[in-house]
Amino acid sequence: MRLLLISNSTMPGEPYLDYPKHEMKKFLGEKPVKALFIPYAAVTFSFDLYVEKVQERFAEIGHSVVGIHTFDDPVAAVHQAEAIVVGGGNTWQLVRMMHDNHLMNPIREKVVAGTPYIGWSAGSNVACPTLRTTNDMPIIDPKGFDTMNMVPFQINPHYLDANPDGHAGETREQRIQEFLEINPNCYVVGLREGTMLLREEQSLRLIGSRTARIFKKGKDPVELTDKDDFSFLLKFPVSPCPA
């Protein structure tokens, strides 16, 4: 299975999807790929506009995207895809539309069979067993919390160390500790902005200059770098993080 799971689309002050484009180019290769793009996480702007924004960046790296919403049969579009790309936005709407369109299993099967998958933010969340480590506001009932289970751990994208000064709400770490209380067998990767996870079959590593924070119930959180091997996170015979 080949996955590029990116924390966030854009660093402050940079153009949309700019920082990860070189890694996306390496991941997709030299031969031009026409990727199927799933824009369902867009809530306050149109799917067409979303495809346009992503296409602009893909054109720079010699590839292209086509929006799944332009196909009459989205499942057939998945079956024929050369690569699958899922963009960020609101995870809840993304999951609801993926369920409504019966896409979870077809995408999973296609990717298990070798089709490369790129996701960022919500698109990385749905590669996990469930959406239960999203940061997004639950604006709509997703009709099931299960997602694609293409990695057996949870990602928390946009992982953030501190609250703004003077704010008393839970920190991200406290929220993840709550998740671990309910889901004690599951690993959570706090994936900071500007970083991504690359899965190539049974190998998993971090790309980016910031560390990732690994959480497991009963253990102190660990900071791992792009020099470390993350593959232990894939080595569960069955998912420890029940979908």
Starting from the edge strand earliest in sequence, which strands make up the sheet with 34-38, in order? Answer: 64-67, 34-38, 84-86, 117-120, 2-6, 196-200, 203-207
Distance CA 98, CA 41 (A): 10
Look up residue 173 and give its two tokens.
């770490």
Nearer to a copy of itself, 13 or 114 (CB): 13
Nearer to a copy of itself, 64 or 211 (CB): 211
Are 209 and 234 within 8 A, CB to CB? no
Q: From the candidates 7, 9, 124, 136, which is the catalytic residue?
A: 136
Question: SS3 of 49, please?
Answer: helix
Look up residue 170 and give its two tokens.
């839970």
Closest contact distance (angstroms) between CB of 201 and a copy of itself is 30
Q: How distant, in Å, are the alpha carbons of 17, 39, 176 from that of 1?
A: 23, 22, 27
| 239 catalytically annotated | no
Nearer to a copy of itself, 2 or 21 (CB): 21
| 63 catalytically annotated | no
Q: From the candidates 7, 9, 121, 124, which is the catalytic residue?
A: 121
Closest contact distance (angstroms) between CB of 125 and a copy of itself is 11
Are 213 and 159 within 8 A, CB to CB? yes
Closest contact distance (angstroms) between CB of 141 and a copy of itself is 5
Nearer to a copy of itself, 115 or 133 (CB): 133
Q: From the candidates 64, 158, 231, 239, which is the catalytic residue?
A: 158
Which residues are at the interface with a copy of itself (CB under 8 A)? 8-12, 43-44, 89-90, 93, 131-141, 145, 158, 160, 162-164, 166-170, 174-179, 181-183, 193
Closest contact distance (angstroms) between CB of 211 and a copy of itself is 16
Nearest to 33 by CA among 4, 76, 66: 66
Nearer to a copy of itself, 103 or 131 (CB): 131
**What is the DSSP code string of 107-168?**
HHHHHHTT--EEEETHHHHTTSSBSTT--S---S--S-SB---SSSSEEEEEE-S-PPTT--
| 121 catalytically annotated | yes
Closest contact distance (angstroms) between CB of 231 and a copy of itself is 26
Give catalytic residues, as residue numbers: 121, 136, 158
